[in-house]
Structure 1
Protein backbone atom coordinates (compact mmCIF):
# COMPACT_ATOMS: atom_id res chain seq x y z
CA UNK A 1 0.00 0.00 0.00
CA UNK A 2 2.83 2.40 0.83
CA UNK A 3 4.46 1.73 -2.54
CA UNK A 4 1.21 2.48 -4.31
CA UNK A 5 0.89 5.82 -2.50
CA UNK A 6 4.50 6.66 -3.33
CA UNK A 7 3.95 5.92 -7.02
CA UNK A 8 0.73 7.98 -7.03
CA UNK A 9 2.57 10.87 -5.40
CA UNK A 10 5.38 10.73 -7.96
CA UNK A 11 2.88 10.65 -10.84
CA UNK A 12 1.01 13.63 -9.40
CA UNK A 13 4.24 15.57 -8.93
CA UNK A 14 5.24 14.85 -12.54
CA UNK A 15 1.86 16.03 -13.78
CA UNK A 16 2.04 19.14 -11.61
CA UNK A 17 5.52 20.08 -12.87
CA UNK A 18 5.04 19.29 -16.56
CA UNK A 19 1.41 19.14 -17.63
CA UNK A 20 -0.71 21.30 -15.32
CA UNK A 21 -2.49 24.25 -16.92
CA UNK A 22 -0.75 27.54 -16.25
CA UNK A 23 -2.36 30.97 -16.29
CA UNK A 24 -1.58 33.08 -19.34
CA UNK A 25 0.59 36.12 -18.82
CA UNK A 26 -1.25 39.41 -19.05
CA UNK A 27 0.11 41.46 -21.92
CA UNK A 28 0.71 45.15 -21.48
CA UNK A 29 0.18 48.00 -23.90
CA UNK A 30 2.96 50.08 -25.40
CA UNK A 31 1.89 53.14 -23.38
CA UNK A 32 1.95 51.14 -20.16
CA UNK A 33 5.38 49.77 -21.06
CA UNK A 34 6.67 53.32 -21.60
CA UNK A 35 5.32 54.30 -18.17
CA UNK A 36 6.97 51.32 -16.49
CA UNK A 37 10.39 51.99 -18.01
CA UNK A 38 10.06 55.77 -17.82
CA UNK A 39 10.83 56.39 -21.49
CA UNK A 40 8.99 58.44 -24.08
CA UNK A 41 6.91 56.71 -26.75
CA UNK A 42 9.46 57.84 -29.36
CA UNK A 43 12.47 56.38 -27.51
CA UNK A 44 14.77 54.23 -29.62
CA UNK A 45 15.95 50.71 -28.78
CA UNK A 46 19.14 51.94 -27.09
CA UNK A 47 17.14 54.16 -24.71
CA UNK A 48 14.80 51.27 -23.89
CA UNK A 49 17.73 48.95 -23.14
CA UNK A 50 19.43 51.57 -20.95
CA UNK A 51 16.24 52.22 -18.96
CA UNK A 52 15.67 48.49 -18.55
CA UNK A 53 19.23 47.90 -17.33
CA UNK A 54 18.97 50.78 -14.84
CA UNK A 55 15.67 49.61 -13.37
CA UNK A 56 16.47 45.89 -13.22
CA UNK A 57 19.78 46.52 -11.47
CA UNK A 58 17.82 48.25 -8.69
CA UNK A 59 14.95 45.75 -8.24
CA UNK A 60 16.49 42.38 -9.16
CA UNK A 61 15.63 39.56 -6.71
CA UNK A 62 19.32 38.77 -6.21
CA UNK A 63 19.69 42.24 -4.69
CA UNK A 64 16.68 41.91 -2.41
CA UNK A 65 14.12 43.19 -4.91
CA UNK A 66 10.87 41.78 -6.17
CA UNK A 67 10.56 39.00 -8.74
CA UNK A 68 7.15 40.30 -9.81
CA UNK A 69 8.46 43.77 -10.46
CA UNK A 70 11.39 42.36 -12.43
CA UNK A 71 8.93 40.37 -14.57
CA UNK A 72 6.91 43.54 -15.31
CA UNK A 73 10.05 45.44 -16.28
CA UNK A 74 11.17 42.60 -18.55
CA UNK A 75 7.72 42.43 -20.14
CA UNK A 76 7.79 46.19 -20.77
CA UNK A 77 11.21 45.88 -22.43
CA UNK A 78 9.99 43.03 -24.61
CA UNK A 79 6.92 44.98 -25.76
CA UNK A 80 8.90 48.09 -26.62
CA UNK A 81 11.73 46.27 -28.37
CA UNK A 82 9.26 44.20 -30.38
CA UNK A 83 7.67 47.44 -31.60
CA UNK A 84 11.06 48.90 -32.54
CA UNK A 85 12.40 45.89 -34.45
Structure 2
Protein backbone atom coordinates (compact mmCIF):
# COMPACT_ATOMS: atom_id res chain seq x y z
CA UNK A 1 0.00 0.00 0.00
CA UNK A 2 2.81 2.41 0.83
CA UNK A 3 4.48 1.61 -2.50
CA UNK A 4 1.29 2.57 -4.33
CA UNK A 5 0.99 5.86 -2.46
CA UNK A 6 4.65 6.63 -3.10
CA UNK A 7 4.28 5.83 -6.80
CA UNK A 8 1.23 8.10 -7.03
CA UNK A 9 3.07 10.95 -5.32
CA UNK A 10 6.05 10.61 -7.66
CA UNK A 11 3.76 10.46 -10.69
CA UNK A 12 1.87 13.55 -9.54
CA UNK A 13 5.10 15.49 -8.96
CA UNK A 14 6.32 14.51 -12.41
CA UNK A 15 3.04 15.58 -13.97
CA UNK A 16 3.19 18.97 -12.23
CA UNK A 17 6.75 19.53 -13.47
CA UNK A 18 5.82 18.50 -16.99
CA UNK A 19 2.72 20.74 -17.15
CA UNK A 20 4.64 23.81 -15.97
CA UNK A 21 7.62 23.27 -18.26
CA UNK A 22 8.08 25.81 -21.05
CA UNK A 23 5.43 28.29 -19.96
CA UNK A 24 6.57 31.91 -19.89
CA UNK A 25 6.54 33.59 -16.52
CA UNK A 26 4.50 36.78 -16.15
CA UNK A 27 6.49 39.99 -16.40
CA UNK A 28 6.64 42.24 -13.36
CA UNK A 29 6.20 45.94 -14.07
CA UNK A 30 8.81 48.32 -12.71
CA UNK A 31 7.39 50.52 -9.95
CA UNK A 32 7.03 54.26 -10.50
CA UNK A 33 9.13 56.06 -7.93
CA UNK A 34 7.72 59.59 -7.68
CA UNK A 35 4.08 58.70 -7.16
CA UNK A 36 4.86 55.63 -5.10
CA UNK A 37 6.87 57.48 -2.48
CA UNK A 38 4.12 60.01 -1.79
CA UNK A 39 1.51 57.26 -1.78
CA UNK A 40 3.62 55.08 0.53
CA UNK A 41 4.13 57.98 2.96
CA UNK A 42 0.39 58.62 3.00
CA UNK A 43 -0.35 54.93 3.56
CA UNK A 44 1.97 54.70 6.55
CA UNK A 45 1.30 58.24 7.76
CA UNK A 46 4.94 59.28 8.00
CA UNK A 47 6.67 62.57 7.15
CA UNK A 48 8.85 62.92 4.03
CA UNK A 49 11.96 63.08 6.21
CA UNK A 50 11.12 59.95 8.24
CA UNK A 51 14.00 57.64 9.08
CA UNK A 52 14.02 53.84 8.89
CA UNK A 53 13.05 53.36 12.54
CA UNK A 54 10.01 55.63 12.18
CA UNK A 55 8.92 53.78 9.04
CA UNK A 56 9.26 50.41 10.76
CA UNK A 57 7.32 51.62 13.81
CA UNK A 58 4.48 52.97 11.65
CA UNK A 59 4.40 49.69 9.70
CA UNK A 60 4.29 47.63 12.88
CA UNK A 61 1.43 49.76 14.25
CA UNK A 62 -0.63 49.58 11.06
CA UNK A 63 -0.08 45.92 10.25
CA UNK A 64 -1.35 44.99 13.71
CA UNK A 65 -4.70 46.55 12.76
CA UNK A 66 -5.04 45.35 9.16
CA UNK A 67 -3.56 41.85 9.37
CA UNK A 68 -5.96 39.17 8.08
CA UNK A 69 -5.59 37.15 11.28
CA UNK A 70 -6.84 40.15 13.24
CA UNK A 71 -9.91 40.84 11.11
CA UNK A 72 -8.31 42.97 8.39
CA UNK A 73 -7.99 42.10 4.74
CA UNK A 74 -5.08 40.62 2.85
CA UNK A 75 -5.18 43.53 0.38
CA UNK A 76 -4.75 46.10 3.16
CA UNK A 77 -1.84 44.16 4.64
CA UNK A 78 -0.25 43.91 1.18
CA UNK A 79 -0.54 47.69 0.70
CA UNK A 80 1.04 48.41 4.09
CA UNK A 81 3.89 45.97 3.40
CA UNK A 82 4.47 47.45 -0.07
CA UNK A 83 4.54 50.97 1.36
CA UNK A 84 7.14 49.95 3.92
CA UNK A 85 9.30 48.24 1.30
CA UNK A 86 9.08 51.24 -1.05
CA UNK A 87 10.11 53.73 1.63
CA UNK A 88 12.93 51.58 3.00
CA UNK A 89 14.34 51.06 -0.51
CA UNK A 90 14.23 54.80 -1.16
CA UNK A 91 16.40 55.40 1.92
CA UNK A 92 19.12 53.28 0.42
Task: Determine if the TM-score, normalized by the shorter chain, exceeds 0.5.
Answer: yes
Q: 1:31 — aligned with what?
A: 38
Q: Which structure carries more relative contact order (alpha carbon 8 Å, separation 6+)? A: 1
Residues 22 and 67 (structure 1 numbering): CA distance in 2 closer, same or farther, change over 3 Å? farther
Q: CA RMSD, aligned part only?
A: 2.8
Q: 1:84 — aligned with what?
A: 91
Cα offset, 1:22, TM superposition = 4.6
* Structure with bigger gyration radius: 2
SS at 2:57 equivalent? helix
Instruction: Give unpaired runs (5+ residues) of structure 2.
Output: 1-11
Matches within 5 A, 1:1-85: 15=20, 21-22=25-26, 24=28, 27=31, 29-85=36-92
Relative to the length of structure 1, the TM-score reads 0.71
User: Moved runs in structure 1, 4+ residues, more than 2 A?
Assistant: 19-28
Instruction: Give unpaired runs (5+ residues) of structure 1.
Output: 1-6
Residues 58 and 33 (structure 1 numbering): CA distance in 2 closer, same or farther, change over 3 Å? same
